[in-house]
């Protein structure tokens, strides 16, 4: 139940995204905090093979199954969750970050603000790192092993029991940030 409440709070915090004409972005504590060294054990320098795109994995992923996903840190204005080991992984086969648009004017090019809600629904997964107690770990992932908005990521994890057809939630066990 705590996982569902945590997930609901995460989704509520990440639900707003829009293109902006401004060139500045408000800083949040996740953007300025140092990465948590305790979370580095979930990262690997080695590439993770046989990863699926999010939109494909969503069609067969079932709670409790191990899956390997590939994607990028795109799809929402706020990719990282303040104080929690959680982030949004977007599917570049479905979503287009604004930096890939010919007339990019967005202060947050990773938000894919020009994509429809339906594309975002099929092209986003919520990724979290959980502890032995089943709760999302505290800490900051931004900056860990170079992880930041627009980074390409491959990860392995287990589909969380709170995952639904509309919201793929994965408990990451191994994360690779592509250089």
Residue 7: pLDDT band (50, 70, 90) is: very low
10 Cβ contact list (under 8 Å, min separation 6): 81, 84, 86, 126, 128
* Among candidate residues 119, 37, 26, 138, the one with its CA nearest the CA of residue 78: 26
Q: Where are the domains of the chain?
A: 2-16+27-177
Give the model confidence (pLDDT) of 92-144 as tens digits. Answer: 999 999 888 888 778 899 999 889 999 999 999 999 999 999 999 999 999 99
CATH code of 2-16+27-177, in short, is 2.40.50
pTM (2 d.p.): 0.81
């Amino acid at each position: 139940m705590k996982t569902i409440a945590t997930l609901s709070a995460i989704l509520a915090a990440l639900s707003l995204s829009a293109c902006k004409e401004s060139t500045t972005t408000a800083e949040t504590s996740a953007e300025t905090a140092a990465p948590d060294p305790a979370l580095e054990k979930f990262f690997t320098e080695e590439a993770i093979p046989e990863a699926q795109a999010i939109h494909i994995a969503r069609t067969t992923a079932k709670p409790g199954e191990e899956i390997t996903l590939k994607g990028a840190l795109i799809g929402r204005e706020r990719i990282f969750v303040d104080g929690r080991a959680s982030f949004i992984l977007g599917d570049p086969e479905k979503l287009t970050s604004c930096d890939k648009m010919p007339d990019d004017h967005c202060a947050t090019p990773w938000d894919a603000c020009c994509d429809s809600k339906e594309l975002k629904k099929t092209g986003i997964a919520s990724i979290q790192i959980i502890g032995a107690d089943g709760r999302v770990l505290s800490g900051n992932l931004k900056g860990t092993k170079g992880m930041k908005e627009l980074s390409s990521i491959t990860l392995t994890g287990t589909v969380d029991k709170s995952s639904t057809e509309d919201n793929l939630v994965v408990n990451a066990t191994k994360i690779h940030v592509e250089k």
